Amino acid sequence: MTEIDQFESVFKSAGKTLFQHEEVSIEKVLVVCDGDQAATENFAASCQTFLAVLGKQVQWLVVAGSQFNGIDQLLQLVEQHSPDLVCTHRYLHMKAREYPFSLGSYLDVLTQVSTNPVLVMPHPERISEGSSHQNTNRVMAITSHFTGDYHLASCAAHLTQSGGELWLTHVEDQATLDQYLTIISKIPEIDTDTARKALPEQLLKEPHDYIESCREGLREAGVEVEVINVVVLGHHLRDYKTLIVDHEIDLLVLNTKDEGQLAMHGVAYSLTVELRDIPMFLL
């Protein structure tokens, strides 16, 4: 009865997840900075410039460093203002730039507790040194499981300037695949050559098909962006870094929440810690 399984596999493969465009609304933005009022105003101004794509109807609220002292207070402020987006930077009230092994305790908590998305801009000092990210002309969405994620692609599309490039990317971890293939090569019931050929093909096919569906869905929704489909096997961090640098990406959009854990989602955590010079929109 192996034929039953074969045909079920064919039909399952043919059953694809189609992208459904979600309307994203960002009308109120809360800018949080750990500097004084002037520094915070400057930071807010650079955020406004960077997020010009949101339009002029957006209400911008500003919280300076003196307005909060502790994570509880910051969370209360966020709850009080209930913004659609929190715009901030890493290492709030911390002098940890020399030891950049996290986002800082404020952001670590904020990204997981808050239901609102958080835009993490490069540190204000880096911006003042002359950040190259002036707009959102090239936006890259990153996830370890793209298929079926309507929200991520919709948000990324919403943040991309009209006529800009929307990079929808999926890097499948080569090391994990190699590990599975090594195990498969030790199981006599599974044909190793077939697995070696079919497994990577199928792993890449699903996100590839979904991204194509995103392209079609966004076109139908009238979103004028150029969708670029990147689905590869490789090393998460190394390949994303290469893509970001080579294509001069302006903004990364990532999922950070994981229902199964309190900590930030695995791939997102390593990317947010390692990629410190690029704005990140954390969902």
Partner 1 sequence: MTNFPGSLFASLDHVPAGVTILFGCLLVGLVLCLALEEKLHAKKSLIVGMFAIVCLLLATGFGILPYQPVIVGSHSLVEHSSVDGEYHDDEHAVNFHADATVGDEAGRHDSSVHVEGHEISMPVYIPAIDWGVIAIILGSSLFVDVTSKSGLFTWIAIKVTKRSGGDPLVLLWFYGAMTVIFSAVLNNVTAMIIVGSLTAVSLERLNRKQLLLGFLLIEGLLTNIGGLLTLISSVPNIIVGTAAGISFMTFFVKAAPYVVVSTIVTLWMGAKIFRIQRLSTDEQKQEAAQLVAGFDEKDGIESWSFFWFGAIMLCLFIITIATTSVLPIVSDLQIGFVALAFGCIMLLRFKSEVDNFYKAIDWDLLGFFMALFIVIYVMEHAGVLNVIGSGIESVLTDLKATPAHATDSSILLVGAALFSSVTDNIPLAAMLANILSSLGTPTDSGLWWSIIFGANLGGNITPIGSASTLVAVTIIHKHKLHLTFGTFVKMAAPYAAVQILMATIYVLLFLR
Residues within the interface to partner 1 (CB under 8 A): 1, 3-4, 7-8, 10-18, 20, 209
Nearer CB in complex with partner 1: 15/55: 15
Least separation in angstroms between residue 213's CB and partner 1 is: 8
Beta-sheet strand order (sheet of 251-254): 59-63, 28-32, 85-89, 118-121, 280-282, 251-254, 138-142, 165-173, 226-234
Residue type, 270: S
Alpha carbon distances (Å) from 161 to 47, 51, 166, 250:
15, 9, 9, 11
How far apart CA 96 and CA 109 sit, in angstroms, is 16
- Residue 120's H or E segment, with its range, is strand 118-121
- Grouping H, G, I as helix, E, B as strand and the rest as coil, residue 148 is coil
Give the orientation angle of helix 266-274 with respect to helix 236-246, to 10 degrees: 50
Least separation in angstroms between residue 226's CB and partner 1 is: 23
Least separation in angstroms between residue 168's CB and partner 1 is: 18
How far apart CA 171 and CA 182 sit, in angstroms, is 20
Nearer CB in complex with partner 1: 13/73: 13
Least separation in angstroms between residue 230's CB and partner 1 is: 21
- Residue 102's H or E segment, with its range, is none
Residue 282 φ/ψ region, left for φ over 0, alpha for ψ in the -120 to 50 degree band, beta for the rest: beta
Q: How many residues does the chain have?
A: 283
Least separation in angstroms between residue 20's CB and partner 1 is: 8
Least separation in angstroms between residue 198's CB and partner 1 is: 13
